Structure 1
Amino acid sequence: MSATGSERSVRWWIAVAIVISLAAALGWNGLVREATGQERVMTAGGMLLGACAALYAWAVMLARFTPRTRLVVLVGVPLAAALGSWLIEVRGVSGDLVPLLRWRLASDPEASLEPPAAPGPLSAPKPRAEASPWLDFPRFLGPDGDAVVRGVRLARDWDASPPRLVWRRAIGPGWSGFAVRGSAAITQEQRETEELVVCYDLTTGAVRWSHADRARFDSVIGGIGPRATPTVHGGRVLTVGGTGILNCLDLSTGERLWSHSVITENDGSMNTWGTSCSPLVVDGRVVVSTGGSRGRSLVAYDLESGELAWSGGDDGAGYSSPKLLELAGARQIVAFNASSVAAHDPADGRVLWSYPWSERNPNVAQPVSVADDELVLSSGYGVGAERLRILRDAAGAFSVERVWRSRALKAKFANFALREGHLYGIDDGILTCVEIEGGRRGWKGGRYGHGQLLLVDDLLLVTAEDGSLVLVEAVPDEHRELARVDALGQKTWNSPALAAPYLLLRNDVEAVCFELVLEEGSGGRE
């Protein structure tokens, strides 16, 4: 049977031109264009939507389909789109803003979680002479807060000595990491309307105790739950929730000793992606970034009483955590804020120096000290890194000068670490090595996404964004991946914790503990 005239005259060439134009544009965007991964994803999304709209308009108005076919397209496409939006929801995004989808009718992992077990007190922390054989990891990024674990050497051959799974368990949403003291492994998570601090047994994963606050931070892009990592100091646990609740809890029982709503009390404003600073304990005080106005950007509370000790600064809060450094011969608390990096006197909170920084996008990665009077800052979103030198004159006044600026390291929210004159970090989703001397890139390789890392002697433990655990040599000549384990299996933004030999990993769905094989004579306590 011969085709009708109208069917023979369908203008397929228009559709072909649209598809070819889309393919060419996507190729330019992905392979040629100088842009961040996020910018490429957003541009590609716009291109796809534009092409779909063009094809829809072509089918309805320009293709010369039969009236019946045009009616089917005119009505069917919107109905199919509506059905798809009813069946599928965006449950989050990747670090490059790629939507992560799930069926709306699928069970919600958070809703299916059982409540934590009734609090059961831990034994009192053991004195140092009787302490546990593994190392503590008492706060965000480790004992020194610099993503470096010292005194430990990991076995390099994971084929011969693979990580041993100790336990795995479901966990509530949140981007908090673990803090470890003795057998207590403490993290923060969300359970429906309650924000929890939960103490798990390091070697079994059993719940020891939990503390709940009625609070919830929820963002499609940023995710659900608390962002900060607990800090363990002596017999106390300090936590900051996603909405700015600062708690001081008893390490043995989880009992609340004191609490503050630091955003509300200090005239701060909630960050778009939630309050993210992990508490810093200095000289018997708990220091947190609030972004408050009128001299309350950074505040300190007495560790014992919870009373306000001092405040200082006026910049809004970033997504970084305050950090104690010694620069130009003086102890300083460095805060990477919304539009600056500033140093405060630990004694009274006064601002010692300030250096302007990009405020277009979040500042997240921790500053890294690279010399007695120098530090490196880095931000993602195309900003890059700078090496700063802190100067002090005869009168004691501080000033700042830039040593170099480089786009070789754009740390979006992955922290970076220093080893032997080189920085190792994730540059827009790809692991990179950068020379300290001039900010030049040594190498770039390993598409690990927006994950996190720890430096352990001359090895990097990388938690990739897809949940893989990767072992990489920290050497300046080339990228050398030694081993890889599928640890979590889905989006992982949380920082790892190594209480050697135990490695704790988590994301917004589950937590896992591995025992790593150490080289003989490495790890543990003296």
Structure 2
Amino acid sequence: MDQADENRAESGRVPVTDEPSAEVAQTENVDVPGRPKGFRWWPAVAILGIATVVESILWWSMSENRPNQSVSMWLTTITVSFLLLMWWMFASRLRWRTRFVGLGVMILLGIAARYSVRVEEYSGAVFPILAFRWTPTAEEIAAEYREAHSESGQDEKSVPIEEVVPAEGDVTIFRGADRTGRIVDAGIRTNWDEQPPREIWRHPVGLGWSSFIVVDGLAFTQEQREENETVVCYNAETGDEIWAHTDSVRFSEVLGSDGPRATPTYFDGRLYTQGATGILNCLDARTGESIWATNILEDAGAKVLSWGMSGSPLVYDDVVVVNAGGDDAGLIAYHRLTGDRVWSAGNGPASYSSPRLANILGEQQLLIFNGNGLSGHDPTTGEELWNFPWTTGPKVNAVLPYPLDESRILISTGYGLGAALLEVKHEGDQWSAEQVWKSIRLKAKFNDFVVKDDYVYGLDEGVLTCLDLKTGKRVWKAGRYGYGQILLVDDLLLIITESGEVLLVKAEPKKSQPLARFQAIGGKTWNHATLVRGRLFVRNAREAACYDISK
């Protein structure tokens, strides 16, 4: 300190100190009397610790609802990221230069991720499936394949088909003739390690969750091809396209992905298809030419469902029945030859299940599992005979109801609701349905279950589960296969997992016993598999394949 400073200090005009100012200390990162010292790390640890405890509690409390678990995890992640950012910028006590450098690095990483990675789709548990932006999309791959395949002259569009006649073992309707997913006398081999499934054909296909039906050597399905919703006929032996019928419409949805959902129905030389936006087609199965078409939502004054119209049309006698969900036309029956409306009935909101017929107490009834629950209808007039309320928050009932005998029906859904065994009663002119038992142990979200003897086998939010039908109690739970699909093939469960792997599991109540497995296709697979005389047809929104698994 020089003499002038000493004089000014003595006069009391300027305070004198050998310590640097707070502003200088902040810049230089040196200690200031009364100012906390060092890097403050504990708030970050506290944030992470509290978040871990909270998320663990939420995860456990939502153990019966996988989508809610996923949502809670993402909300927790977003909240924790924000709190950590606040700590870094305002409570870490690092140099401001260090804080801004860290913020800049995070921003750059976010930009890099934004322009290098895309969300390809979401799993059934609502987890994003990522892909690099420079890799081609499934649509691009399918379009390139179709162009190359067409130019090579390999398609069979010029080959005339004189007649389409179902043979024994053909699958003409979604989940088989009785829509139970049960196949008897299948004659398949199970020693896949020694004799692996033999690939017959494989190729890319358009988007969509439609499955195959196979009739007289023809495989029918629905796909999204760019802006066209398309019904496609393939040669079941070669995989070559024979014909394609297009409608200029596209259904788009973030969580469930784009494209049609429903599986075609074959009946008496005609193909009946329902598109995701409500277009109901009647096509000539030989050529794909339109016989008649209508939009069931416009006819019913209804709106398209959040995840698209998914019900596979039901054809019997002279009608084709669909669940439109209108206020005055929940169900609509069209004449199968002309498309004229025969009757409409009910006012329940549509959901994602398909209509089916069942023998209930000696009378044929039409079963509809809509957004409000399960109901039985007169198949000739549509009149509602009975109703059992069964609903979730989003009004989603996607799985087919399963009649066990003439009076008992098994239902199940996801979103934390579970399964129930119902008993239908008929006293005088009154019909009713009562709950025998309810179980939270089988939550079949959109994955149909199968029944063998006194046990039901299904995917409980992605985990294979066996329930006792007499009591509803869980016998065993083993094998996380995701949101795939199941067929009952003799005494075996044929499971196609959400990742496209195919397994054989013994259908027995003692324990889960996998016998064989192989990777059939790649990518998320929600589509049902189809088995016809030892030929296994599988597909998803990326590719389709046919395998020989016969003995």
Same fold per TM (> 0.5)? yes
Match of 2:216 among 182, 185, 195: 182
Query: Which range moved further: 6-15 or 161-170?
Result: 6-15
Q: Deviation digits for residues 261-312 of structure 1, max 9, x if unmatched?
A: 1111111111000000001011121111100121x11111111111111111
Shift of 1:33: 5.6
Residue identity matched to 1:340: G
Query: Which range moved further: 76-85 or 505-514?
Result: 76-85
Shift of 1:322: 0.3
Match of 1:364 among 398, 422, 426: 398
Partner of 2:203: 169
Shift of 1:30: 4.6
- Evaluate the alpha carbon distance shift between residue 474 and residue 122 of structure 1 in structure 2; reply closer, same or farther with a 3 A threshold: farther
Q: Is the 8 A contact 1:310 1:349 kept in 2?
A: yes
- What does 1:463-478 correspond to in 2, within 5 Å? 463-478=496-511
Match of 1:123 among 161, 165, 189: 161
Q: Is the 8 A contact 1:282 1:346 kept in 2?
A: no
Partner of 2:95: 66
Shift of 1:154: 2.6
User: Matched residues in 1 for 2:373 and 2:99: separation?
Assistant: 57
Asked whether 1:241 is paired with 2:266, we answer: no
Shift of 1:50: 1.7
Q: Deviation digits for residues 89-122 of structure 1, max 9, x if unmatched?
A: 2222100100112233432221341257584455
Q: Deviation digits for residues 218-260 of structure 1, max 9, x if unmatched?
A: 1110111000000111211110001010001111111111001
User: Matched residues in 1 for 2:119 and 2:254: separation?
Assistant: 7
Partner of 2:73: 44
Partner of 2:517: 484
- What does 1:297-336 correspond to in 2, within 5 Å? 297-336=330-369
User: Matched residues in 2 for 1:319 and 1:432: separation?
Assistant: 22
Shift of 1:29: 4.5
User: Matched residues in 2 for 1:445 and 1:410: separation?
Assistant: 14
Partner of 2:8: none
Shift of 1:386: 1.1
Partner of 1:93: 122
Partner of 1:391: 425
- Evaluate the alpha carbon distance shift between residue 251 and residue 478 of structure 1 in structure 2; reply closer, same or farther with a 3 A threshold: same
Shift of 1:5: 4.2
- What does 1:254-265 correspond to in 2, within 5 Å? 254-265=288-299
TM-score, length basis structure 2: 0.89
Asked whether 1:410 is paired with 2:443, we answer: yes
SS of 1:224's partner is: coil
Match of 1:107 among 125, 132, 136: 136
- Evaluate the alpha carbon distance shift between residue 10 and residue 127 of structure 1 in structure 2; reply closer, same or farther with a 3 A threshold: closer
Residue identity matched to 2:317: D
Q: Which runs of 5+ in 2 are unaligned?
A: 1-27
Match of 1:342 among 345, 363, 375: 375
Q: Which runs of 5+ in 1 are unaligned?
A: 519-526
Q: Give the RMSD, CA atoms, in angstroms.
A: 2.0
Q: Is the 8 A contact 2:261 2:309 kept in 1?
A: yes
User: Matched residues in 2 for 1:54 and 1:126: separation?
Assistant: 65
- Evaluate the alpha carbon distance shift between residue 291 and residue 120 of structure 1 in structure 2; reply closer, same or farther with a 3 A threshold: farther
Match of 2:50 among 21, 24, 45: 21
Query: Which range moved further: 329-338 or 104-113?
Result: 104-113
Match of 2:491 among 458, 462, 474: 458
Residue identity matched to 2:80: A
Shift of 1:390: 1.0
Partner of 2:469: 436
Larger Rg: 2
User: Matched residues in 2 for 1:210 and 1:86: separation?
Assistant: 36
Partner of 2:16: none
Q: Is the 8 A contact 2:164 2:286 kept in 1?
A: no
Percent identity over the alignment is 37
Q: Is the 8 A contact 2:70 2:125 kept in 1?
A: yes
Partner of 2:248: 214
Partner of 2:23: none
Q: Deviation digits for residues 356-376 of structure 1, max 9, x if unmatched?
A: 111413110100011211101
Q: Is the 8 A contact 2:165 2:269 kept in 1?
A: no
Asked whether 1:380 is paired with 2:409, we answer: no
Q: Is the 8 A contact 1:153 1:456 kept in 2?
A: no
Q: Is the 8 A contact 2:417 2:440 kept in 1?
A: yes
Shift of 1:149: 1.3
Partner of 2:264: 230
Q: Is the 8 A contact 1:180 1:232 kept in 2?
A: no
Partner of 1:523: none
User: Matched residues in 1 for 2:177 and 2:222: separation?
Assistant: 19
SS of 2:246's partner is: strand
User: Matched residues in 2 for 1:351 and 1:199: separation?
Assistant: 36
Asked whether 1:423 is paired with 2:456, we answer: yes
- Evaluate the alpha carbon distance shift between residue 336 and residue 127 of structure 1 in structure 2; reply closer, same or farther with a 3 A threshold: closer
SS of 2:324's partner is: strand
Shift of 1:471: 0.8
Shift of 1:32: 7.0
Q: Is the 8 A contact 1:143 1:149 kept in 2?
A: no
Shift of 1:438: 1.2
Q: Is the 8 A contact 2:348 2:370 kept in 1?
A: yes
Q: Is the 8 A contact 2:536 2:546 kept in 1?
A: yes
Partner of 1:524: none
User: Matched residues in 1 for 2:512 and 2:118: separation?
Assistant: 38
Shift of 1:8: 7.0
Partner of 2:190: 156
Q: Deviation digits for residues 297-333 of structure 1, max 9, x if unmatched?
A: 1111111111111111100101000011111211011
